[in-house]
């Protein structure tokens, strides 16, 4: 028997009005950390979007779905003006550097599939937009959403997501999950750092102090680090100040030798660990030139072993291709950020030109390859 759902939306309700509904529904959801109130509430408080919609789905009198859609105007190529609705994002690049993953509508687990598709249809039929920006999310969840809505889909970011699922007892060694080559590289690296120490930040104040070190290391390595942005830093100061005490954020510091330290910033939810970012201090000059020393690989190994022994169910590296992620992972999925577009003439022309550009690139690449053949 199909269930009847009712949908409605509010414009710019206060965070306080959203919080109680969101937290109550989250108790009946099985979705990722990024859809829990510690992330969503902090996001709203930090970035305070100027205009947004809260879409609600109910079954009889029970709330079964929620979504926050931020209105944003994007200009592209100097002549395309697109009115966007962005799901749990602002549409402003520097604000979205915090990078939500496993994004979705917040849904009651017993209604998830049916409500997702119907809520998407309701948004398409009742809210004004040129583009609905959805992601970063598991591609499987949105593969069929645009059906019957007369929308075009354009992916603007794609990446594999790597996860380690623990299928045995916490006391069993993690080594059995690794290939012989990965085990060899890790053990060889740990021999270089025989006196390593693993620490977990005990309070928000200690975590914020470590975050300052992380920010400095991150800026040294990444010229476009999010830590260069004031709102990014504010968001994470808030996240750590409260999240450490609440148990939904953990900061690990692994000291490998006198000069080498690795930080791992993780989110915790429903027995799952979400690895968010890392920072690595410079190695001792006597070790830095040794390609056998792999401090990042060693740190993740030690952290995964730590969490497995603690009884967690998984260690999720999330999106982004990297060799060390594939070395550990036993589950791979596809993440994407997609724009669902109205079939407007300018947007269709833009997509046609992009496809033409891609075809020309492939043709030129093929032609150059043919020229190099003997």
pLDDT one-digit tens code per residue, 131-141: 999 999 999 99
Query: How many C-beta atoms surround the C-beta of residue 2 within 10 A?
Result: 5
Same topology, domains 5-160+334-343 and 167-312? Answer is yes
Q: Rounded mean pLDDT of 138-167?
A: 93
Residue 1: predicted pLDDT? 41
- H or E, element range at 69: strand 62-76
Examine the pLDDT at 286 and tell me if it is beyond 60.
no
Token pair for 96? 């979205």
Domains of the chain: which residue ranges? 5-160+334-343, 167-312
Q: How confident is the model at residue 342 (pLDDT cuts 50, 70, 90)?
A: very high
3-state secondary structure of 131: strand
Q: What is the distance of C-alpha 91 from the center of its chain? A: 15
Fold of 5-160+334-343: Aminopeptidase (3.40.630)
Token pair for 136? 């970063």
C-alpha to C-alpha distance for 268 and 247, rounded to whole angstroms = 7
C-alpha to C-alpha distance for 121 and 130, rounded to whole angstroms = 14
- Return all residues near 68 (Cβ < 8 A) that are at least 6 apart: 18, 40, 44, 52, 53, 54, 55, 87, 88
C-alpha to C-alpha distance for 18 and 31, rounded to whole angstroms = 18
Residue 324: burial class (beta carbons within 10 Å; 0-12, 13-18, 19+): middle
**Of all residues in the chain, what percent carry a pLDDT higher than 90?**
79
- Cα(first)–Cα(last) distance of the chain, in Å? 67
The most distant pair of C-alpha atoms in the chain lies apart, rounded to whole Å, by 73
Q: Rounded mean pLDDT of 47-64?
A: 97
Q: How confident is the model at residue 102 (pLDDT cuts 50, 70, 90)?
A: very high
Residue 104: predicted pLDDT? 98
- CATH classification code of 167-312: 3.40.630.30
C-alpha distance from residue 354 to each of 77, 108, 359, 360 (Å): 12, 38, 9, 10
């Amino acid at each position: 028997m199909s269930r009847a759902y009712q949908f409605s939306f509010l414009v710019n309700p206060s965070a306080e009005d959203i919080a109680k509904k969101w937290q109550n529904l989250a108790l009946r959801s099985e979705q990722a950390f990024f859809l829990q109130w510690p992330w969503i509430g902090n996001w709203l408080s930090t970035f305070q979007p100027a205009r947004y919609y809260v879409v609600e789905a109910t079954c009889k009198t029970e709330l079964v779905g929620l979504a926050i859609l931020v209105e944003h105007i994007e200009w592209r190529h100097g002549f395309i003006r697109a009115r966007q609705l962005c799901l749990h994002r602002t549409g402003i690049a520097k604000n979205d550097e915090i990078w939500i993953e496993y994004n979705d509508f917040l849904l009651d687990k017993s209604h998830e599939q049916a409500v997702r598709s119907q809520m998407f249809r309701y948004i398409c039929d009742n809210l004004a937009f040129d583009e609905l920006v959805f992601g970063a999310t598991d591609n499987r969840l949105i593969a069929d959403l645009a059906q019957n809505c007369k929308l075009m889909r354009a992916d603007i970011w794609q990446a594999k997501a790597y996860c380690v699922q623990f299928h045995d007892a916490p006391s069993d060694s993690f080594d059995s999950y690794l290939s012989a080559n990965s085990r060899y590289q890790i053990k060889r690296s740990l021999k270089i750092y025989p006196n390593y120490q693993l620490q977990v930040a005990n309070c928000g104040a200690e975590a914020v102090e470590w975050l300052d070190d992380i920010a400095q290391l991150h800026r040294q390595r990444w010229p476009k680090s999010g830590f260069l942005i004031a709102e990014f830093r504010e968001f994470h100061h808030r996240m750590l100040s409260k999240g450490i005490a609440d148990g939904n954020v953990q900061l690990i510091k692994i000291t490998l030798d006198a000069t080498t330290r690795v930080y791992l910033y993780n989110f915790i939810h429903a027995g799952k660990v979400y690895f968010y970012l890392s920072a690595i201090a410079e190695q001792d000059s006597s070790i830095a030139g040794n390609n056998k020393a792999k401090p990042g690989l060693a740190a993740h190994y030690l952290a995964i072993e730590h969490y497995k022994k603690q009884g967690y169910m998984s260690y999720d590296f999330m999106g982004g291709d990297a060799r060390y992620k594939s070395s550990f992972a036993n589950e791979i999925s596809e993440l994407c950020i997609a724009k669902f577009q109205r079939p407007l003439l300018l947007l269709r022309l833009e997509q046609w030109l992009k496809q033409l550009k891609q075809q020309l690139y492939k043709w030129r690449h093929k032609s150059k390859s043919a020229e190099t053949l003997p």
